[in-house]
Amino acid sequence: MSSTHYQESSIRVLKGLEPVKQRPGMYTRTDSPMHIIQEVLDNAADEALGGFGKKIDVVWHVDGSVTVEDEGRGIPMGLHPEEGVPVLELVFTRLHAGGKFDKGSGGAYRFSGGLHGVGVSVTNALSQRLEITVFRDKQVGKLVFSGGDVIEPLSIRPAQSGDKKQGTRVRAWPDAKYFDSPQFQQSEFERLLRSKAVLLKGVSVSLLIEKTGQKTVWKFEQGLEGYLQQALEGQETIAPVFSGDLEVDIAKEEGFASGEGAAWSLAFTAEGGVFRESFVNLIPTPAGGTHESGLREGVFNAVRAFCEVHALLPKGVRLLPEDVFSRVSCVLSAKVLDPQFQGQIKERLNSRDAVRLVACLVRPSFEFWLNHHLDAGKKIAELAIRQAQIRTREGQKVEKRKSSSVAILPGKLTDCESTDLTRNELFLVEGDSAGGSAKMGRDKEFQAVLPLRGKVLNAWETERDRLFANQEIHDMSVAIGVDPHDKPENVDVSGLRYGKICILSDADVDGSHIQVLLLTLFYKHFPGLVAKGHIHIARPPLFRVDVPVHRKRPARKVYCLDELELHAVKDKLEKDGINTANLQVSRFKGLGEMNAEQLWETTLNPDTRRLLPVGLGVLDEAQTTEMMNLLMGRNESSSRRGWLEAKGNLVEVDI
Asked if 198 and 238 sit in the same domain, the reply is: no
Residue 586 lies in a domain: no
Range 250-260 average pLDDT = 82
The answer to whether position 246 is within a domain reads yes
User: Does residue 56 belong to any structural domain of this protein?
Assistant: yes
Of 76, 56, 72, 334, nearest to 192 (Cα)? 56
pLDDT, tens digit, 9 for 90 and up, residues 335-372: 888 788 775 556 788 888 899 999 999 999 999 999 99
Residues 424-457: pLDDT tens digits? 999 999 877 777 888 898 999 999 999 988 778 8
Domain boundary residue, one of 396, 429, 451: 396
Residue 13 has pLDDT above 70, yes or no: no
- pLDDT attached to residue 184: 83
> Same domain, yes or no, for 78 and 196?
yes
The SS3 of residue 176 is: helix
**Whole-number average pLDDT of the chain:** 83
In a domain, 410, yes or no: no
84 with 27, same domain: the answer is: yes
Same domain as 119, residue 91: yes
- What pLDDT shows up at residue 157? 92
Query: Mean pLDDT across the stretch 566-573?
Result: 87
Which residue, 381, 396, 411, sits at the end of a domain?
Answer: 396
Task: Give the percent of the chain with pLDDT over 90.
Answer: 30
Range of the domain at 374: 224-396
Q: Mean pLDDT throughout 267-290?
A: 88
Q: Is residue 468 part of a domain?
A: no
pLDDT for the residue numbered 239: 93
The pLDDT tens digits for 119-162 are 788 888 889 999 999 999 899 999 999 988 889 999 999 988 88
202 and 350 fall within a common domain: no
Same domain, residue pair 169 and 269: no
Q: Are residues 173 and 274 in the same domain?
A: no
Rounded to whole angstroms, what are the CA distances from 627 to 238, 347, 524?
Answer: 54, 31, 12
* HSE-up of residue 359 (Cα within 13 Å, Cβ side): 16
Question: What is the structure's pLDDT at 382?
Answer: 95
Provide the pLDDT confidence category of residue 310 given band limits of 50, 70 and 90. very high
Do 138 and 236 share a domain, yes or no?
A: no
Phi, psi for 376 (deg, rounded to 5) = -65, -40
Asked whether residue 116 is domain-assigned, the answer is: yes
Residues 180, 265 within the same domain? no
| Band of residue 653 on the pLDDT scale cut at 50, 70, 90 | low
pTM of the model: 0.61
Do residues 521 and 561 make contact, with C-beta atoms less than 8 angstroms apart? no
Q: Is the pLDDT of residue 461 over 80?
A: yes
Report residue 25's pLDDT band, with 50, 70 and 90 as the boundaries. low
pLDDT of residue 120: 83
- Looking at the structure, tell me whether residues 118 and 195 fall in a common domain: yes
Confidence at 100, pLDDT banded by 50, 70, 90: very low
- The reply to whether 143 and 239 lie within a common domain is no
- Per residue in 488-509, pLDDT (tens digit) is 777 888 888 999 999 998 877 8
Alpha helices in 470-620 (DSSP H): 471-480, 509-525, 527-531, 563-575, 596-599
The whole-number pLDDT of residue 6 equals 45
Cβ-in-10-Å burial (0-12, 13-18, 19+) of 35 comes to buried
Same-domain check for residues 54 and 114: yes
* Res. 594 pLDDT band, cuts 50 70 90: confident
CATH number of the structural domain spanning residue 349: 3.30.230.10
Q: What 8-state DSSP symbol labels residue 256?
A: -
Look at residue 70 and tell me if it is in a domain: yes
Q: Which of 374, 396, 418 is the last residue of a domain?
A: 396
**Average pLDDT, integer, range 189-203:** 85
Does 142 or 99 have the greater pLDDT score? 142
Taking only the tens place, the pLDDT of each residue in 43-85 is: 898 888 788 889 999 999 999 999 999 999 998 888 888 777 8
- Supply the CATH number for residue 164's domain: 3.30.565.10
Residue 498 has a pLDDT of 93
Catalytic residues, by residue number, are 430, 506, 508, 510
The domain total for the chain is 2
Band (pLDDT 50/70/90 cuts) for residue 8 is very low
Report strand pairing: 214-218 vs 500-504: unpaired
Amino acid at 100: K
Per-residue confidence (pLDDT) for residue 404, from 0 to 100:
41
In a domain, 505, yes or no: no
Residue 98 has pLDDT above 60, yes or no: no
% residues pLDDT > 70 (the chain): 88
Residue 207 to residue 216: CA distance in whole angstroms: 5
